[in-house]
Structure 1
């Protein structure tokens, strides 16, 4: 009879699988190991199959256990979302709206939306962080932010709900006085030309992009920790790189920066990335978060 399964058994199963042993799982759950072992044994008996192979020093998921782990996680995520929604229905307005924004997203749009939100919810304090790459998603995973604006498809997590809100254009640029700008006066530049010069790149403050490189084409790089620093280094003629069009439109119009004339970096040296409003599925919008979401979409015309 499968209807005697409990959520507690599923949580113990997932915790043990993620921890790697009954002992470590028990420690994470603040329970004695015997109680955890007993709960897993009962679950296996109710399912009629072994979830763990206990022959070795540490328990290892069986093929059946591996297959059912995804289902268990999905059930627990949905239950957490249901509980959070119910909790949200019974609570009033938030005391603080915490928001983490990708450095590629136009911050003036965020400011206008926050001002709109504050007009509707004047008692709500705001905590705003602007970080690159995996930073916005990590802020949600670690519950440091209620909302995040994420740009691109590189960072996904099943605990995070995403809603597409806009497209962010990035342009490959270089200072007007840089050798690459002078070189392209005689024609398009190729990948060997780009590799001969320093590329300015953002470094990820999180472990999410460990051993991964995003758009790095030159063996010579200068890593910076903020989009403003990247912009300043490219303007100074130190190297080349991609910057959001909203940040460099005036520099391009006034001739301080030029587009890199190469088809290797997108048509007209420009590529688009989708921007998403993100939140944890177990942390639904409160009144202030909902007001900000609506205001942001109005600002973006979506």
Structure 2
């Protein structure tokens, strides 16, 4: 009967399949070989299928055994995850961390921090929300996330800010775009005949303000990937994080524009911040993520 199946039988089955023999499985599990054979025999009787062909020198998985092995692996993974999550609950570890992320923050740095978090808290799920400008703070205030990474410094007594890094941005256009053909400072009059590709701000906090918008003719897009694609296609020009366009600048697909309203070489700098609710202290995994993120920043000092 299937109700009699035990996790131990399944682990024995998996160990025999992975090690290649009953003897090797017995050594790995620190049991006598007869106990391994007995466990497999009982499992086969309960499942009413032969899991191993024992006619040769070494036991070989039968077609039925190979099929059921995949199910057993999946089940044991879920059981281990359940145990890890239950252990985490006992220690007050979060089930999930949601971070509202401004898309201009360098994703490689985020990835390094998440790699550390995954090793330390493998049972904690991680979720990101793409939230430009004030949308990160809106998500935080409305309880839609645990942490926010933003490129603006809205002051709110309910939110604690921590400076992360400055992100360099540059005004660029495709190499064949008319604006790319001059090295003279580009003022409003020269930009007026060309479309500026700008990011849409969905936030009520900052949606009425334009950041870095200097051209009267503009197209709005929802994300930097679309923005970059349109600029590369020659539709218009715009400002993008340098970390996102290093290869295109190096290969000559994109050219910096000397926009007069920006700094030298059309560059602007945005200070980014890590934010969380004052009334909701970070749990163990959230604290570990914060420390890993700070440690992953350029020229970061070890977190003490």
TM-score after normalising by structure 2: 0.66
Count of aligned positions: 210
Which residue number corresponds to residue 179 of structure 1? 178
Which residue number corresponds to residue 100 of structure 1? 100
Gaps of 5+ in 1: 1-89
C-alpha deviations, 1:251-279, integer Å up to 9, x for none?
Answer: 11110110102332112211111111110
Aligned partner (choices 284, 296, 300) of residue 299 of structure 1: 296
Aligned partner (choices 251, 255, 276) of residue 252 of structure 2: 255
Aligned equivalents of 1:113 and 1:234: distance in 2? Answer: 30
Aligned equivalents of 2:161 and 2:176: distance in 1? Answer: 41
Which residue number corresponds to residue 158 of structure 2? 159
Aligned equivalents of 1:274 and 1:286: distance in 2? Answer: 26
Aligned partner (choices 256, 269, 276) of residue 266 of structure 2: 269
Q: Which has the higher contact order (CA 8 A, sep 6+)?
A: 1
Which residue number corresponds to residue 283 of structure 1? 280
In the TM superposition, residue 133 of structure 1 has moved relative to its aligned partner by 1.5
Which residue number corresponds to residue 169 of structure 1? 168
Which residue number corresponds to residue 38 of structure 1? none
Which residue number corresponds to residue 128 of structure 1? 128
User: Is the aligned partner of 1:232 residue 2:259?
Assistant: no
Alignment of 1:64-103 (within 5 A): 92-103=92-103
Aligned equivalents of 2:222 and 2:278: distance in 1? Answer: 29
Paired residue secondary structure (1:209): coil
Higher Rg: 2
C-alpha deviations, 1:44-86, integer Å up to 9, x for none?
Answer: xxxxxxxxxxxxxxxxxxxxxxxxxxxxxxxxxxxxxxxxxxx
Aligned equivalents of 2:187 and 2:218: distance in 1? Answer: 17
Paired residue secondary structure (1:149): strand
Paired residue secondary structure (1:282): coil
Paired residue secondary structure (2:261): helix
In the TM superposition, residue 208 of structure 1 has moved relative to its aligned partner by 1.5
CA RMSD of aligned residues (A): 1.6
Aligned equivalents of 1:211 and 1:97: distance in 2? Answer: 30
Paired residue secondary structure (1:164): strand
In the TM superposition, residue 91 of structure 1 has moved relative to its aligned partner by 6.5
CA contact 2:133–2:201 (8 Å) conserved in 1: yes
CA contact 1:131–1:226 (8 Å) conserved in 2: no
